Amino acid sequence: MRELVVEFSREQIAAYAAASGDGNPIHLDDEFARSAGLPGVIAHGMLQMGLLARVAGEPGRLRKLSCRFVGIVRPGDTVTFRGEEANHALQLTAVNQDGQAVLSRAVAELDRAR
């Protein structure tokens, strides 16, 4: 089993927004996020998916990654990303500190040649 534990921070979320070009204010401005019905700033789904990809191991082995975004990740949340390999695929999970899934139906297809 592979595992990556990440505590999300405002700085990490802001850095991802700058690097990705996704400056949507729901990721950067608490007041705006609350006006949109959210509890405050939330992490980008693609930031979470990128971290999920890290449990696949060597980047050259990853052929396909898919998941569903099912939970909100906020600054201060700790998410545990796990993967278990079987038949050149990884069954993946991502749960927060309360044991609630933030990503579901997550699977990575790995290159068989590596």
CB atoms closer than 10 angstroms to residue 94: 27
Calpha distance 67→88 (Å, rounded) = 17
Tell me the β-bridge partners of 104: 68
pLDDT at 114: 54
Tell me the CATH number at 74: 3.10.129.10
pLDDT tens across the length of the chain (114 residues)? 789 999 999 999 999 999 999 999 999 999 999 999 999 999 999 999 999 999 887 778 888 999 999 999 999 999 999 999 877 788 999 999 999 999 999 999 888 765
Q: What single letter denotes the amino acid at residue 23? A: G
Q: Which two tokens stand for residue 18?
A: 């700058």
Q: Read off the pTM.
A: 0.91
Q: At what angle do helices 10-20 and 45-54 cross, to 10 degrees?
A: 100
* CA separation for the pair 55, 37 (Å, rounded): 32
Total tally of structural domains belonging to the chain: 1
Structural domain span for residue 58: 2-110
Element (H, E) at 14: helix 10-20
Q: Are 96 and 52 a contacting pair, CB within 8 Å?
A: no
Tokens 């975004």 belong to which residue? Answer: 69
